[in-house]
């Protein structure tokens, strides 16, 4: 069969608009398309390919597990799931783990647990969920409604109720809205899709304090920030704020689909047998791969390397900006970095993305005004440097057009 981009239009639902190129091979931080053209990958599958493409230890783990046990469903448990859960408990605040297939599913479980916890421990009236404008928590109807971008949730009929949004980093706005009827506050410890926005320390600690005051659960969506992305194993560790529930996905499987919800024993007990589930959640293949990812990432070598590589990106992007004056700010943390376009180039992030692809570099956007970089955490320094050379050529194309 001759597989081309046109075949997508013929057979796929049109909710995506993928690029014309079709990658067929990946190794480390490099990709090759059908024509053999090589690309440097600064996108990382949207912060997923935490160890790059086809990392040999992940490949070996998948092969080994694939020859023993693929799937059981949750009528039975399995060794990879239990080992992974034990390791997540060992390295975080959590005491209990629930496995799903994606970040949206992990967040769905977190939100359902928060509602159930409040209903059983307090009352039916304690059901308000507060989240933040420009937040993103997934594409199920519950999670997309909690996400603070109406464009993603409008147009599908009546939305789940009693969900409110306030501005990120505005503690006064949250304090004005939160009450004893609030069951949970959900936030990203660094907004990803919303523009790579970091919380102030005052804000993060203030959210925790307000949740404590009103007996509301604090849910940290670490789908994009977790598993080393910010230079800490999870971003909450760098904020010195401990959530009640944490969700993880994306990097957790290094490219193999898996999600996880982490919480305490006292909260977890409210998801009794039969209250929630997932056929594929805790799949042996996914859990075996994630166990290897966690083992590799949770080392001083990798986590300190993330912080050092962040500085390579920042200095490189600042040097580009000195020449072309197109960015107002370089922001983010670790290897989740945003180059914010200034007023002259406002709304044109996609132009820079397209120009980058033409220069054989894969990057992302975070809204119309931010170019996003979320590469492998172990991307070689020389790939960063060469990728920034390609990005500079893309910037020059847009600026000089």
DSSP string over 315-345: HHHHHHHHHH--EEEEEEETTEEEEEE-GGG
pLDDT tens for 37-53 read 999 999 999 999 999 99
- The pLDDT assigned to 217 comes to 98
Which of these, 235, 202, 239, lies nearest to 336 by C-alpha position? 235
Residues of the chain with CATH 3.90.1150.10: 5-54+300-400
User: Mean pLDDT across the stretch 268-288?
Assistant: 95
Active site residues: 136, 221, 250
398 is in an annotated binding site: no
Give the separation between CA 8 and CA 157, rounded to whole angstroms.
Answer: 28
278 is in an annotated binding site: yes
Residues of the chain with CATH 3.40.640.10: 57-297
139 is in an annotated binding site: yes
Q: How confident is the model at residue 73 (pLDDT cuts 50, 70, 90)?
A: confident
Of the CATH numbers 3.90.1150.10, 3.30.70.20, 1.20.120.430, 3.40.605.10, which one belongs to the domain with range 5-54+300-400?
A: 3.90.1150.10
222 is in an annotated binding site: yes
User: Strand, helix or coil at 25?
Assistant: strand
pLDDT tens for 108-161 read 999 999 999 999 999 999 999 999 999 999 999 999 999 988 889 999 999 999
Residue 307 has pLDDT above 90, yes or no: yes
Residue 153's H or E segment, with its range, is helix 150-153
Q: How confident is the model at residue 70 (pLDDT cuts 50, 70, 90)?
A: very high
The DSSP call for residue 250 is G
104 is in an annotated binding site: yes
pLDDT tens for 164-208 read 999 999 999 999 999 999 999 999 999 998 899 999 999 999 999
30 is in an annotated binding site: no
Give the separation between CA 273 and CA 107, rounded to whole angstroms.
Answer: 19
164 is in an annotated binding site: no
- Relative to beta strand 245-248, strand 259-263 is antiparallel
User: Mean pLDDT across the stretch 267-271?
Assistant: 97
Residue 401 has pLDDT above 90, yes or no: no
pLDDT tens for 215-260 read 999 999 999 999 999 999 999 999 999 999 999 999 999 999 999 9
Helices and strands (DSSP H and E) totals, the chain? 15, 15
Calculate the dihedral angle through the C-alpha atoms of 220, 222, 226, 231, rounding to the nearest 10 degrees.
-70
123 is in an annotated binding site: no
User: Mean pLDDT across the stretch 89-105?
Assistant: 98
Which is it for the CA torsion 220, 111, 206, 192, positive or negative?
positive
Percent of the chain, pLDDT > 70? 100
Q: What are phi and psi of 231, to 5 degrees?
A: 100, -10
Domain over 57-297 is classified CATH 3.40.50.40: no
Which of these, 85, 45, 138, lies nearest to 290 by C-alpha position? 85
223 is in an annotated binding site: yes
The DSSP result for 111-140, as a single string, is HHHHHHHHHHHT-TT--EEEEEBT----SS
331 is in an annotated binding site: no
List Cβ<8 Å contacts ≥24 apart for 240-243.
Answer: 240/201, 240/205, 241/189, 241/204, 241/205, 241/207, 241/208, 242/93, 242/208, 243/93, 243/208, 243/218, 243/219
């Amino acid at each position: 069969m001759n597989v081309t981009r046109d075949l997508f239009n013929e057979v796929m639902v049109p909710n995506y608009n993928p690029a014309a190129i079709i990658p067929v091979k990946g190794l480390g931080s490099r990709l090759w398309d059908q024509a053999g053209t090589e690309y440097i990958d600064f996108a990382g599958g949207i912060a997923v390919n935490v160890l790059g493409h086809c990392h040999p230890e992940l490949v070996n783990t998948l092969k080994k597990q694939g020859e023993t046990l693929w799937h059981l469903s949750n009528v039975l448990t399995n060794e990879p799931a239990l080992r992974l859960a034990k390791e997540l408990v060992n390295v975080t605040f959590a005491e209990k783990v629930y496995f799903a297939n994606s970040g949206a599913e992990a967040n769905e479980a977190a939100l359902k647990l928060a509602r159930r916890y409040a209903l059983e421990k307090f009352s039916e009236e304690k059901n308000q969920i507060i989240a933040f404008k420009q937040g993103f928590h997934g594409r199920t109807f519950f999670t997309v409604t909690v996400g603070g971008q109406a464009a993603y949730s409008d147009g599908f009929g009546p939305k789940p109720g009693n969900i409110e949004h306030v501005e990120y980093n505005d503690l006064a706005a949250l304090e004005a809205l939160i009450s004893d009827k609030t069951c949970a506050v959900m936030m990203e410890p660094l907004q990803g899709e919303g523009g790579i926005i970091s919380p102030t320390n005052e804000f993060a600690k203030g959210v925790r304090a307000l949740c404590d005051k009103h007996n509301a659960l604090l849910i940290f969506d670490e789908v994009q920030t977790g598993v080393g992305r910010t230079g800490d194993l999870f971003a909450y560790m760098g904020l010195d704020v401990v959530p009640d529930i944490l969700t993880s996905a994306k990097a957790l499987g290094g490219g193999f689909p898996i999600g996880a919800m982490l919480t305490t024993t006292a909260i977890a007990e409210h998801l009794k047998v039969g209250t929630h589930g997932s056929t594929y959640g805790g799949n042996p293949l996914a859990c075996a791969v994630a166990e290897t990812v966690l083992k590799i990432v949770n080392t001083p070598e990798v986590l300190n390397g993330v912080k050092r590589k962040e500085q390579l990106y920042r200095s490189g992007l600042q040097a580009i900006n000195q020449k072309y004056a197109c960015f107002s700010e370089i922001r983010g943390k670790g290897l989740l970095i945003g180059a914010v376009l200034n007023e002259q180039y406002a709304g044109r992030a996609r132009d820079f993305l397209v120009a980058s692809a033409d220069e054989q570099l894969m990057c992302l956007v975070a809204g119309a005004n931010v170019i996003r970089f979320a590469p492998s955490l172990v991307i070689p320094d020389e790939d960063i440097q060469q990728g920034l050379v390609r990005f500079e050529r893309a910037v020059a194309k847009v600026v000089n057009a």
